[in-house]
Amino acid sequence: MTTANLAKSFRVGLVQMCSGRDVARNLRDAAALIREAASGGAGYVQTPEVTNLMELDRERLFAVAEPESANAGLRQLADLAKELSIWLHVGSMVIKASDAKLANRAYLISPKGEVTARYDKIHMFDVDLPNGEVYRESANYEPGTKAVVADLPWGGIGFSICYDLRFPYLYRALAHAGASFLAVPAAFTRLTGEAHWVTLLRARAIEAQCFVFAAAQGGLHEHGRETFGHSLVVSPWGQVLAEGGVHPSVIFADVDLAMIADVRSRVPSLRHDRKFDVVHADGKAAEVAS
């Protein structure tokens, strides 16, 4: 066990952005806010979903998206993490996975500037909203197939991205796999964010008995989409420890590691999970999504 593992707390910095169509500008904005987070004492810094590019048009997306192996933005962020000696969690980047599909991919970068974990968003946001907005994430992005828990000096962190938030079994599985912290970088729409964002994040924290770190996009973006913002840090007891507004900013929270064991001892629900079958009243087996 390292000295860092013996720490009783650490500071989280969540970067809230309003990313647009200009990748270089988005990366400059992200870098400035990451520096602000580091100067404020954050050892772990998280940026929101699609940090490098907020775009819906397929032609524009594929014109500027780069593969991971040649991604200048990822190299810049890795160099910045090394310079600042922080754990940098890039909430996600638009990555060219093939000629036909992109990946909505998160990266965890160590203070040595090394990528230690990757996660591709599993659940695709395909929806027709009441206000007339239409989203077909699956038209451009290849969904991930693996949930990921990675090691931080203070404990395991489970990955997710935005729409994943609506699938509670993912977070329960991450907690059982050793996560003490759950990451939910996002670009929630204003409409759904106003209705559900805080409630869902608190619920995931309570259910999984983990800290939740959720850096968000916020504001009116160049392509016309409006996102909710309100980046959040939530405790395993469901308390909101820090909350952002709508505009680009950094929010901070000090994470008391003792709270995880305390909450899990007071309500030991993670130890009480049981396997069961779901059946119809007539005795026939029901189909249940896993």
**Catalytic (active site) residue 18:** no
Q: Can you tell me the distance from the alpha carbon of 3 to that of 161, in angstroms, rounded to the nearest whole number?
A: 31
Give me the catalytic one of 18, 55, 96, 162. 162
Q: Which two tokens stand for residue 165?
A: 């938030």
Dihedral sign, Cα of residue 267, residue 270, residue 274, residue 279: positive
- Give me the residues paired with residue 93 across strands: 105
> Order of strands, edge to edge, in the sheet holding 155-158?
149-152, 155-158, 179-183, 211-214, 232-234, 240-243
Active-site pick, 18, 55, 96, 121:
121
**What tokens appear for 81 in the block?**
């993490």
Q: Which of 116, 123, 124, 163 is nearest to 147 (CA)?
A: 123
Per DSSP, helices labelled H in the chain are 23-39, 58-64, 72-84, 137-140, 168-176, 190-192, 198-208, 258-266
Task: Check if 8 is active-site.
Answer: no
**Per-residue tokens: 241:** 């420890």
User: Is 226 in a helix, a strand, or coil?
Assistant: strand
Q: How many residues does the chain have?
A: 290
Residue 266 has which token pair? 């007071």
Set 49, 55, 137, 207: catalytic member: 49
| Residue pair 52/84 in contact by the 8 Å Cβ criterion | no
162 as an active site residue: the answer is yes
d(CA 230, CA 251): 10
User: Which are the catalytic amino acids?
Assistant: 49, 121, 162
